[in-house]
Amino acid sequence: MVNVKINGIAVSVPEEYTVLQAAKQAGIDIPTLCYLKDINEIGACRMCLVEIKGGKALQTACVYPVSEGMEVFTNTPKVRAARKVVLELILSNHEKKCLSCVRSTNCELQRLAEELGVDATRFEGETQQQTIDDFSPSIVRDNNKCILCRRCVSVCKNVQTVGVIDVQERGFATHVGCSYDKSLAGTSCAMCGQCIAACPVGALREKDSTDIVWEALADESKHVVVQTAPAVRVALGEEFGMPIGTRVTGKMVAALKMLGFDRTFDTNTGADVTIMEEGTEFIDRFTNGGKLPLITSCSPGWVKFCEHNFPDFLDNLSTAKSPHEMFGALIKSYYAEKQGIDPKDIFVVSVMPCTAKKFEAQRDELAATGYPDVDAVLTTRELARMIKEAGIKFTELKDEEFDAPFGEATGAATIFGTTGGVMEAALRTVSEVLTGKSFDQVEYTAVRGTEDIKEASLEIAGKTVNIAVAHGLGNARKVLESVRSGEKKYDFIEIMGCPGGCVTGGGQPIKSAKTWADVDVKAVRAKALYDEDESLTIRKSHENPVVKKLYAEYLGEPCGTKAHQLLHTHYHAR
């Protein structure tokens, strides 16, 4: 520990702390822009400049280390003037169309301008005009709004280890882009959207699908069905000022019905079916000498990453579709037959915490009925924008329930939204099928938590099952490289493309760098899902009466002929 003073306040902090961390402990806020805890700590933007007693130059608080007896000043005239000039220089080459920007009122640059009293810019010179890259089905890059903070570069390269974007050129020509200035669509981008979540401004956003959904809702010839992923219910409320992790399942359903959807279903039902298919597939491989490890395939960002980087593992991927695609296929087959509706007249909308789902919905492989399983994907943010546009007072809504015949889902499906949740849901079913027994204890705590990689060995029906759980593509890379080298041997692996899983997917409400520094967002949202799981009567996918009826009346056996036709797919090297 070392003793320092920040604006005259004495604090004792660990010697590895930076001035920024020490100031936070002293209750003092230092403005930042390029800083993103544990992801981007490079001192590039110069917004966090402070004055050190005895020093001649101002220093960047986010990277400057503390030392014994150091005295720091964060609010001197020199510091305030420097920060103001830095901010004005950033704004001088920034497209200031704030009112029409998707990040208006949730923009860190906008907030800093307000806090520092910068309401105009003194530096009016040449500005760059960049072409907007909107060729990707998932992500739009608008470099006219980029402030070169490099947060997107860092998360793509260092966290996700995809590395398709970097800083190009030098000086005034500096910009963020892909090699040879390709579009994101022409690269090995996983479409995960973590770059969007990291961006402090509106330089990155999801490809908007609200217009085509509004159009479908207004088309009287279309029967428009919406389904919502488990992670959406613990994040949507944040877009309306509610605390992080607030469960808004009932309000969300009410809002969707007010928007005009003909049926509102829960993707959790699709997740229960996924467990039936994926669990059966694992049992078959595990007991009959099939290809192991079986790797989950419900995260489209992870699947695309695998296709590009680990094609030798494609045979290890579960052939089960992701829950929303599986559910879409069932809506356009089973549900269509039950309701007497031609599948061509059904328009399926998935509300997802994920930008990669937009890419996934366009896959040619995912059209079991001859029509796309899912017609449009909205992120959590896009749904919030539609609710606001419709003038719905979200926080005042009374809870409503999902519609029949898919109105019931289990706790196992709910926890799909967090890292370890798919594995735990699968184990709840696999353990009972393999042993032929029913267990009251359904929690598998070994796969819970936010550690980068979790490992466990479980005894099931007299056999040892070695499992691993990884979240974030960088951790996925580590796991697969350890398997490839022979260092590790697993039977079952769960991989989520985004750090924390779907709860912190690329389509979830965006949090500022200060919020990420103060709150473990992924843990708070995950807890909300576990709480919902515990509150439900049925917590095992194979006990869902809706799922039982579906197999008895329509699908037959899990992984049977009809189930395989509708609910399974294949992948290919890219």
Instruction: Quickly list DSSP for 215-275.
Output: HHHH-TT-EEEEEE-GGGGGTGGGGGTPPTT---HHHHHHHHHHHT-SEEEEHHHHHHHHH
Task: Give Cβ neighbours of residue 486 (< 8 Å, ≥ 6 apart).
Answer: none
At 127 the pLDDT is: 81
Give the span between the Cα atoms of 196 and 200, in whole angstroms: 8
Domain tally, the chain: 3
Task: Give Cβ neighbours of residue 77 (< 8 Å, ≥ 6 apart).
Answer: none
Task: Give the CA distances from residue 435 to residues 32, 290, 459, in Å, rounded to whole numbers and listed in that order.
Answer: 55, 20, 11
Same domain, 192 and 215: no
At 441 the pLDDT is: 86
> Are the beta carbons of 349 and 261 closer than 8 angstroms?
yes
Write down which residue in 91, 120, 143 finishes a domain.
Answer: 91
At 129 the pLDDT is: 87
Domain membership flag for residue 267? yes
Domain membership flag for residue 173? yes
Q: Which of 562, 443, 5, 527 is nearest to 235 (CA)?
A: 527
Count the neighbouring beta carbons within 10 Å of the beta carbon of residue 466: 16
At 128 the pLDDT is: 82
What residues are annotated to the active site?
278, 281, 298, 318, 357, 360, 365, 502
Residue 169 sits in a domain whose CATH number is 3.30.70.20
At 347 the pLDDT is: 98
Task: Give Cβ neighbours of residue 188 (< 8 Å, ≥ 6 apart).
Answer: 162, 164, 304, 305, 308, 309, 574
Same domain, 148 and 234: no
Give the span between the Cα atoms of 223 and 178, in whole angstroms: 40
Domain membership flag for residue 108? no
At 121 the pLDDT is: 75
Count of alpha carbons within 13 angstroms of residue 196, beta-carbon side = 29
Same domain, 41 and 152: no
Same domain, 244 and 317: yes
Q: How far is CA 347 from the centre of its chain?
A: 24
pTM across the whole model = 0.96
Same domain, 306 and 440: yes
Give the span between the Cα atoms of 253 and 400, in whole angstroms: 6
At 433 the pLDDT is: 93
Same domain, 255 and 323: yes
Give the alpha-carbon dihedral of 303, 304, 307, 308, to 10 degrees. Answer: -140
Give the span between the Cα atoms of 396 and 82, in whole angstroms: 45
Domain membership flag for residue 408? yes
Give the span between the Cα atoms of 24 and 6, in whole angstroms: 10
Strands 166-168 and 223-228: unpaired
Same domain, 352 and 480: yes
- What does the block give as tokens for 105? 């009122």
Give the span between the Cα atoms of 332 and 218, in whole angstroms: 20
At 408 the pLDDT is: 87
At 205 the pLDDT is: 98
Residue 481 sits in a domain whose CATH number is 3.40.50.1780
Same domain, 232 and 183: no
Domain membership flag for residue 100? no
Q: Which of 288, 270, 274 is nearest to 434 (CA)?
A: 288
Diameter over CA atoms, the chain: 81
Domain membership flag for residue 104? no
Write down which residue in 156, 172, 206 finishes a domain.
Answer: 206
Same domain, 457 and 311: yes
List per-residue pLDDT tens for the chain, 574 residues long: 999 999 999 999 999 999 999 999 999 999 999 999 999 999 999 999 999 999 889 999 999 999 999 999 999 999 999 999 999 999 998 999 999 999 999 999 999 999 999 987 788 877 888 999 999 999 999 999 999 999 999 999 999 999 999 999 999 899 999 999 999 999 999 999 999 999 999 999 999 999 999 999 999 999 999 999 999 999 999 999 999 999 999 999 999 999 999 999 999 999 999 999 999 999 999 999 999 999 999 999 999 999 999 999 999 999 999 999 999 999 999 999 999 999 999 999 999 999 999 999 999 999 999 999 999 999 999 999 999 999 999 999 999 999 998 888 999 999 999 999 999 999 999 999 999 999 988 999 999 999 999 999 999 989 999 999 999 999 999 999 999 999 999 999 999 999 999 999 999 999 999 999 999 999 999 999 999 999 999 999 999 999 999 999 999 999 999 999 999 999 999 9
Write down which residue in 66, 91, 116 finishes a domain.
Answer: 91
Give the span between the Cα atoms of 16 and 446, in whole angstroms: 31
177: left (phi over 0), alpha (psi -120 to 50) or beta: beta
Domain membership flag for residue 574? no
- What does the block give as tokens for 401? 């329930």
Domain membership flag for residue 458? yes
Question: How are strands ordered across the β-sheet holding 294-295?
Answer: 294-295, 492-496, 463-471, 453-460
Same domain, 145 and 31: no
Same domain, 383 and 489: yes
Same domain, 243 and 386: yes
Range of the domain at 58: 2-91
At 119 the pLDDT is: 80
